[in-house]
């Protein structure tokens, strides 16, 4: 880490300490943009219900006028939408979100690779990326299972209760994991969710030795997941992870090892930057039956 980065980190730390819990608004050089991002977050949490400037201002502890101006700008840009007198998320977010997903090489490759897996192609496979202490789900391969028990794309889940999260965390140093979870309370979605950071670190050690992670009804009762890590291709690109989701009744002793093997094949393929070059943004030109 450069000294400049250290300085920035220090300053952020100080400011966060000063605000003591309010919104994490470090004094950005473009406050309006930072606030706009916070507003979008708030609108996302609202789940489709429109929120007026007054409500937003109250919940953010910011001046009402300022919020109104920013919201108007967001609406003009299509990032928000005026519904009645309030605001909701706008269409352009779908466009930008799709563009982001399309820009991640691993995602393109993921979809292709899942179809070619021998056993796993029938199952629900997901790709996620570690972000702080949570996982953001980026892609999903729906097997032939009629039940749709998977989270939707773009959704975030705590890393400590998911197979993807534990696989991604296990690819990090123990120090780094401890640092990230400093002062974070582990959420318990089921009785089996890991309750403490100590339990998490111990489980990660098991994951490292075993080569894959397991979520044994820690997110949802009756559902198990297996996960493997996929390193990012550029520094600073958080570790990715893929997982297979199963109803516990389907996790038989002969089937699971095959699925694990498929996961490792998938991870190997997504880890290899060479494949990225091949099937990356210019993939349209490539066909399996391509011959001169």
Binding site for DNA (CB under 7 A): 4, 27, 29-32, 52-55, 58, 62-66, 68-70, 85-86
| Paired residues of 127 in beta bridges | 139, 242
What contacts 146, CB < 8 A, 6 or more positions away?
Answer: none
Contact call for residues 242 and 260 (beta carbons, < 8 A): no
H-type helices in the chain, by residue range?
A: 3-19, 31-46, 53-60, 64-77, 92-103, 105-116, 163-170, 174-180, 197-210, 255-271, 273-279
Q: Give the residue, chosen from 19, 72, 184, 201, that forms a contact with a copy of itself under the rule CB under 8 A.
A: 72
- CB of 163 vs DNA, minimal distance in Å: 36
Q: Helix or strand or coil: residue 129? A: strand
First CA to last CA distance, the chain: 48
- Our CA angle for 51, 56, 61, nearest 5°, is 170
Contact call for residues 81 and 88 (beta carbons, < 8 A): yes
- CB of 260 vs a copy of itself, minimal distance in Å: 26
Q: Residue 59: name its binding partner from a copy of itself, DNA, none (Cβ under 5 to 8 Å by kind).
A: none
Q: Residue 40: name its binding partner from DNA, a copy of itself, none (Cβ under 5 to 8 Å by kind).
A: a copy of itself
Scanning 69-77, 165-173, 223-231, 257-265 for contacts with a copy of itself by CB under 8 A, the matching segment is: 69-77
- Nearer of residues 94 and 199 to a copy of itself, judged by Cβ: 94
Q: Residue 47: name its binding partner from a copy of itself, DNA, none (Cβ under 5 to 8 Å by kind).
A: a copy of itself
Scanning 14-22, 52-60, 130-138, 251-259 for contacts with a copy of itself by CB under 8 A, the matching segment is: 130-138
* Beta-strand relationship, 134-141 and 156-158: antiparallel
Scanning 32-40, 183-191, 215-223, 244-252 for contacts with a copy of itself by CB under 8 A, the matching segment is: 32-40
- Residues lying near a copy of itself in the complex (CB under 8 A): 26, 28-34, 36-38, 40-41, 43-44, 47-49, 69-70, 72-74, 76-79, 81-84, 88-105, 111, 115, 129, 131, 136, 138, 146, 148, 152-156, 234, 236-237, 280-281
């Amino acid at each position: 880490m450069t000294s400049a980065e250290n300085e920035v980190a220090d300053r952020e730390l100080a400011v966060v300490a000063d605000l003591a819990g309010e919104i994490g608004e470090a004094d950005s050089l473009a406050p309006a943009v930072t606030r706009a991002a916070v507003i979008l977050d708030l609108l996302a949490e609202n789940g489709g219900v429109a929120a007026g400037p007054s409500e937003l201002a109250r919940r953010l502890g910011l001046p009402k006028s300022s919020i109104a101006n920013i919201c108007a700008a967001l609406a003009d840009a299509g990032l928000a939408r005026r519904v009645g007198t309030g605001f909701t998320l706008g269409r352009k977010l779908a466009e930008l979100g799709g563009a982001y997903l399309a820009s991640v090489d691993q995602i393109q490759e993921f979809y292709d690779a899942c179809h070619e897996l021998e056993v796993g192609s029938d199952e629900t496979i997901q790709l996620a990326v570690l972000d702080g202490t949570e996982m953001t789900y980026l892609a999903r391969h729906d097997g032939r299972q009629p039940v749709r028990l998977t989270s939707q794309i773009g959704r975030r889940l705590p890393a400590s209760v998911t197979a993807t999260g534990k696989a991604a965390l296990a690819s990090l140093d123990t120090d780094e994991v401890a640092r990230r979870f400093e002062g974070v309370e582990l959420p318990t979605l089921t009785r089996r969710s890991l309750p403490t950071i100590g339990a998490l670190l111990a489980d990660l050690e098991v994951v490292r030795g075993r080569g894959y992670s397991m979520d044994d009804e820690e997110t949802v009762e009756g559902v198990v997941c297996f996960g493997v890590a996929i390193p990012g291709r550029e520094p600073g690109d958080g570790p990715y992870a893929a997982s297979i989701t199963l109803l516990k009744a389907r996790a038989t002793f002969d089937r699971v090892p095959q699925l694990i093997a498929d996961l490792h094949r998938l991870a190997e393929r997504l880890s290899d930057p060479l494949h990225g070059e091949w099937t990356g943004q210019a993939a349209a030109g490539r066909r399996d039956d391509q011959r001169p």
